[in-house]
Chains A and B, each alone.
Chain A
């Protein structure tokens, strides 16, 4: 990245290399490719990794490996870790605000988005030990069985994060997925990718086990098919695109009948974008028939 000479001080600025996040590490894309992010006036902001399908494959391997351990962690611990992410994000407010501004947001909008992002993490952290009670049920049956349904995480979730909401939209999708014991591979916004990479650094400092969240940057067109078709992914979330995207995702997802979750046309800043059904989306219901009486 071009390091620009600061006026007066004579010191060279140290520019950040934006890398992807796989298995608790920050590698460059294995493909060695990158794309350039520019501001409105065409000045270079950063070079961003153009992730490949092999990066995605590696990320899924990491997510799969991390999933059983993460699902086994107690609800209390998962909640604590989500709180911790919020705390770490709070401590780095200024960085996130200036990054959003760098990508074209007004200072006020950036401030609001970071606030909302932190609050959203807290919101889902609170749900960690509650969603199970809310969504589980004891079912009336006409035989001598104690019949109950509980939720279990679906497994590995691939997510195409919202394109127009680089931080809040990303967090609004990651938080409900991991709080329920899933692990995920996320493709960051193509036009606003910087916050996602910095958020990975926050995750990294928050006791989130390696592989639970993996974040790639890159082109939608190139990776959507891979996100939808991988046989070792149990659910795919997409947040943008019209009928054509919906159709292609659903078709590719059919091979291993993964859940297809559409979250298009969502205003992520609105309060209506936070609800426990986002957790429920990536859970499976297990119903048990337990014999009672004689």
Chain B
């Protein structure tokens, strides 16, 4: 392990001292979050908050400039029939599509997130990953979603993973860095917790569960473990780190459960798009349908909402 390149302020912590995760306890705690009763006014507020926290995402091999323009259009005009809606936090695309997204969004207050570092596998040399990142930033991305090298992490090469994140963070410049742990490939909650601690110490602005390409993607269990890691990191260092569950959150109801978990684990300070995001593609329409239901009293159909 070479730590020589690392700045003095960033040190790989002793991961053996990271507390073990009580899996039964996590499951039980998560069960509680799903039984809160959230009605009318609070529900509407929660749904609007969810909309403002969405990273509207398209990460497919079949993405075309047209598809990305359409996604940006959706980000700007979520559902014009309902006045007073917030806009989404960001659109999330591949580096090659950042230019297209920037043009489509213009000077609107919607961030452009780009995945980078040989997404989704992360199996590429560091030089390629750095180039990938710089390209995305140069093209106008103000948020970078990187993947960690799961292979190195699982092989115990924590130093390697740590150095990589530090290097990518530097390449990001002013852009926010979200570090994707790909929890579906880490196997245990203990490793999720360790990877979270590692990523935060290496300078991550956000930690993110998944690429969306591996099942299971985001679950409430891993999200809770990551939120707890963020909380303890905050107590330890005084630095706030954001959280982004991604993949598999497609219903408004589930998203509200996540908000409950966020509120009860990290508190109100994190309840803004600055510190919490949903990586999702189909969630937005479900939330919009629920908001329309609240406005009209009638259950809605996807037929009347634009596709993203």
Contacts and interface: CB of A to CB of B under 8 A. Distances in A.
A232 interface: yes
Nearest to B297: A229
Contacts of B304: 231, 256
Taking chain B's interface residues, is the majority helix, strand, or loop, or is none over half, making it mixed?
A: loop
B302 interface: yes
A64 B302 CA distance: 10
A230 interface: yes
B301 interface: yes
Q: Interface range on chain B: under 10, 10 to 19, 20 to 34, or 35 or more?
A: under 10
Contact of A57 (B299, B302, B303): B299
A255 B299 contact: no
A229 to B, nearest CB: 5
B306 to A, nearest CB: 15
Contacts, number: 25
A60 interface: yes
A226 interface: yes
B266 to A, nearest CB: 29
Taking chain A's interface residues, is the majority helix, strand, or loop, or is none over half, making it mixed?
A: helix
B82 interface: no
Contacts of B300: 231-232
Interface string A231-248: 110000000000000000
B298 interface: yes
Contacts of A232: 299-303
A109 B302 CA distance: 45
Interface string B51-77: 000000000000000000000000000
A5 B118 CA distance: 69
Contacts of B302: 64, 232
Contacts of B303: 231-232
Interface string A50-73: 000100010010001000000000
Interface in B287-306: 298-304
B286 to A, nearest CB: 10
A176 B207 CA distance: 53
A57 to B, nearest CB: 5
Interface string A214-239: 00000000000010011110000000
A110 B99 CA distance: 72
B301 A229 contact: no
Nearest to B251: A61
A64 B301 CA distance: 10
A278 B247 CA distance: 43
A57 B301 CA distance: 11
A60 B289 CA distance: 14
B235 to A, nearest CB: 39
Nearest to B292: A231
B250 to A, nearest CB: 12
Nearest to A53: B299
A53 B293 CA distance: 13
A64 B303 CA distance: 11
A256 B299 contact: no
Nearest to A233: B301
Contacts of A53: 299
Contacts of A255: 298
B298 A60 contact: no
A230 B296 CA distance: 11
A124 to B, nearest CB: 28
Contacts of A226: 299
Interface in A170-215: none
Contacts of A256: 301, 304
A64 B286 CA distance: 14
Interface of A: 53, 57, 60, 64, 226, 229-232, 255-256
6 contacts: A53-B299, A60-B299, A64-B302, A226-B299, A232-B300, A256-B301
Q: Which 8 residue pairs of A and B lie closest in terms of their CB atoms, listed nearest first? A: A232-B301, A231-B301, A230-B299, A229-B298, A231-B300, A57-B299, A231-B298, A231-B299
Interface of B: 298-304
Given A231-B298, A231-B303, A256-B304, 16 more contacts: A53-B299, A64-B301, A64-B302, A226-B299, A230-B298, A230-B299, A230-B301, A231-B299, A231-B300, A231-B304, A232-B299, A232-B300, A232-B301, A232-B303, A255-B298, A256-B301
